Amino acid sequence: MSGGEHWIWGYVASLGLAVITLVTRAFFMVPERELPMPEWLKRGLRYAPLAALAAVVAPEIVMSNGQLIHTLVDARLPALVCATAYFWWKRGILGTIVVGMAVYLPLHIGLGW
């Protein structure tokens, strides 16, 4: 196979991945009626988005460059405390993000934490 023919395999692979993604994501929309699920599974699936968000955010809060943070002079820690306090007070996700960023940005950009 010459070097010029390799690009076609890239297109074939991309098309295959697109089809697989479409089929797996649309799988639950195909049936005409709702699929029966046990109640315990429905309850558990309600927490899936929150668990995914926590899995992404938690390492960013406690780690820097692959290492655990070892100082309290880190803008993420006061932002975490303020955002958590706001969430417990108001129970709003958008406000939690705004408060956390409002504390984080001045400390990180302004003070260089």
| Tens-digit pLDDT profile for residues 43-68 | 988 888 888 988 998 898 889 888 89
Residue 80 pLDDT > 90: yes
The one-letter amino acid at 38: P
Give the integer Cα–Cα distance in Å for 100 and 83: 5
Give the integer Cα–Cα distance in Å for 104 and 60: 13
Q: Let me know whether 14 and 42 are in one domain.
A: no
The percentage of residues in the chain with a pLDDT greater than 70, rounded to a whole number, is 96
Q: Let me know whether 15 and 48 are in one domain.
A: no
Give residue 77's domain range. Answer: 37-111
For 12, 52, 59, 90, 106, the CA distances from 96, given in Å and listed in that order, are 44, 17, 18, 9, 16
8-state DSSP, 37: -
Number of domains composing the chain: 2
